[in-house]
């Protein structure tokens, strides 16, 4: 390991389409964006997706449950699932957000450095390798994921309930990456 700690830069996100303008938004869009007189600052990401408030509200609720629900899989490992999916889908913005969250929760700069510098092949420690291998296959082409990969998760002490959480974390990033990486692009924070 290098002596300097590996750091992933924080990024901002800029949409390719014009986001909803809070000043002219419909009641349904305002409710979806949770705009109130004391909260009128809404991110470009939320305003972009608020063009379809129905799907925005339902997906946000599901996303929060998958990433933050109590119990089950350790939150750090859900973030690792999110990071692997984002690396496969080359969603630079999502990868930077979730790489940083993963490090905050796990302290594993070494894993993030490996992924950023050399990619998803590893080698990683055995449990991390099992998570990366399964989430990578599921994200690339679902039919490439194997029973052996799931068995490897079990062999490294993951319960079935925890694996259900990991499946959902990787899958919801198959969703989130297909929004963030197709509807806009990452930009340096300074240029916001």
Partner 1 sequence: MMGMSDLDQIDILSGLKPGSELYAIRRERPEFVEGTELCRETVLTPNHGFGLSHALRAALASRMARFIGREDLAAVYDLMLDDAGSDPDLASIASCAEIAAATDAFTSAIIRHADLVTRTPRNSSRADIERLEKAGLSNPQIIALSELIAFVNYEARVLVGLSLLEEVE
Enumerate binding residues for partner 1 (CB under 8 A).
16-18, 48-49, 51-52, 54-59, 61-62, 65-66, 69, 72, 88-91, 138-139, 141-143, 145-147, 149-151, 154, 160-161, 163-168, 170-172, 174-179, 181-183, 185
Q: How many residues does the chain have?
A: 192
Q: Please, which residue, 123 or 151, has the CB nearer to partner 1?
A: 151
Closest separation in Å from C-beta 5 to partner 1: 28
* Closest to partner 1 by CB, 116 or 175: 175
Quote the least distance from Cβ 147 to partner 1, whole Å: 5
In whole angstroms, what is the distance from residue 131 CA to residue 127 CA? 6
Residue 2 CB, nearest distance to partner 1 (Å)?
28
* Residue with Cβ nearer partner 1 (72 or 122): 72
d(CA 123, CA 133): 11
From the CB of residue 86, how many other CB atoms can be counted at a distance below 10 Å? 27
**Shortest reach from residue 94's CB to partner 1, in Å:** 11
Task: Kindly tell me which of 108 and 156 has the beta carbon lying closer to partner 1.
Answer: 156
Please, which residue, 8 or 87, has the CB nearer to partner 1? Answer: 87
> 36 - beta bridge partners?
39
Residue 192, CA distances (Å) to 2, 52, 158 in order: 32, 24, 41
Inter-residue long-range contacts of 178-181, CB under 8 Å, 24+ positions, other chains counted: 178/89, 179/49, 180/13, 180/45, 180/91, 180/93, 180/94, 181/89, 181/90, 181/91, 181/92, 181/93, 181/94
Least distance to partner 1, CB of residue 47, Å? 11
């Amino acid at each position: 390991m290098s002596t300097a700690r590996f750091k992933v830069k924080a990024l901002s996100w800029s949409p390719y389409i014009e986001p909803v303008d809070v000043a002219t938004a419909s009641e349904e869009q305002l409710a979806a964006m949770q705009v109130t007189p004391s909260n009128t600052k809404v991110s470009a990401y939320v305003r972009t997706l608020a063009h379809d408030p129905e799907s925005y509200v339902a997906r946000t609720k599901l996303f929060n449950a998958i990433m933050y629900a109590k119990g089950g899989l350790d939150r750090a490992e859900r973030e690792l699932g999110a990071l692997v999916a984002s690396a496969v889908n080359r969603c630079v913005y999502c990868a930077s957000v979730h790489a940083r969250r993963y490090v905050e929760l796990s302290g594993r700069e070494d894993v993030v450095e490996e992924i950023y510098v050399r990619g998803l092949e590893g080698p990683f420690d055995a449990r991390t390798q099992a998570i990366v291998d399964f989430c990578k296959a599921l994200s690339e082409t679902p039919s490439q994921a194997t029973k052996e990969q799931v068995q490897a998760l079990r062999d490294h002490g993951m319960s079935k309930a925890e694996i259900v959480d990991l499946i959902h974390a990787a899958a919801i990033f198959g969703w989130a990456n297909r929004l963030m990486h197709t509807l806009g692009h990452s930009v340096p924070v300074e240029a916001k």
